[in-house]
Amino acid sequence: MNELTGKRALVTGGSRGIGAAIALALAEKGADVALTYEHAADKATGVVKAIENKGRRGFAIQADSADAAAVTRSVNEAVSSLGGLDILVNNAGIARSGSLPEMRLEEIDALLNINIRAVILASQAAIPHLKQGGRIISTGSCLAERVPMAGVTVYSLTKSALLAFTRGLARDLGPQAITVNLVQPGPIDTDMNPAANGDFAEGNRKQTSLGHYGKPDDIADAVAFLASPAANYITGTALTVDGGSNA
């Protein structure tokens, strides 16, 4: 239960859903955790209190992942607040759907900036602070490898880009004993993709082998494993947690 004692983590987009579950899972295993949020200050404060209730230090940092300067600033603020950094979880992301001819430039830019550019910039800012045994873990999507529905072309593109980024960065940082991995969720019951009444809820449910949505904790457990010493020899890997959607 204390595999991460003494470790310091930053979780982007950590105020709710999968990000909040990841932040709490890391704290449960002993890490001090900073998290970023865009608008939900009250929810971010609630996650920080839950982290502190576990006996760990928690910090909330306001940052819009679409803003390049804010992404870099958030990493620097996390390092300052935590006294260093051992684990970066690139979790912040958005979903936009629609056929390509109908998508507005603003929607395309938002997907590219938040789902790809922010991951690159946060990792770039974090790397100088990571020591041997450091971790970079990103949240992707099972739609990076298989697209069983229409209307998610650009979103899937942004998540497939993280596959190449993870593999390339794992090569770059391997000599420093820093691992880089990707967790690819399937349908997870969150505000972004609710199991009860989401736009793709019924189709997503039928697509899984298990016949139901997953929970944020299912993804958080995978991230916590990759952050732990048990995953020392795992790098450049995509761990798909999708209930068998891509089986």
Q: How many C-beta atoms surround the C-beta of residue 129 within 10 A?
A: 18
Which pLDDT does position 203 carry in this prediction? Answer: 80
Q: Which residues are catalytic?
A: 155
Distance CA 220, CA 199 (A): 24
Is 3.40.50.720 the CATH classification of the domain at 8-241? yes
- 196 pLDDT exceeds 90? no
Interval 134-150 mean pLDDT: 96
Shortest CA distance to 9 belongs to which of 29, 33, 44? Answer: 33
Question: Taking Cα atoms as reference points, which of 119, 109, 110, 121 lies closest to residue 140?
Answer: 119
Tens digit of pLDDT for each residue in 212-229?
999 999 999 999 999 999
Q: What is the mean pLDDT of residues 84-105?
A: 97
Determine the Cα–Cα distance for residues 94 and 239; give it in Å rounded to an integer. Answer: 20
Locus of tokens 């300067």:
69
The predicted pLDDT at position 35 comes to 98
> What does the pLDDT look like over 74-91, one tens digit per residue?
999 999 999 999 999 999
Going by pLDDT thresholds of 50, 70 and 90, the confidence category of residue 10 is: very high
Domain map (residue ranges) of the chain: 8-241
For Cα atoms 59, 90, 99, give the angle at the middle one, nearest 5 degrees: 130
Mean pLDDT of 87-101: 96
* Predicted local distance difference test score (pLDDT) of residue 198: 64
Asked if the model's pLDDT at residue 4 lies above 90, the reply is yes
Q: What is the pTM of this model?
A: 0.96
- Among the ranges given (60-64, 149-153, 169-173), the one the predictor scored with the smallest mean pLDDT: 149-153
For residue 137, the model assigns a pLDDT of: 99
pLDDT at 170: 98
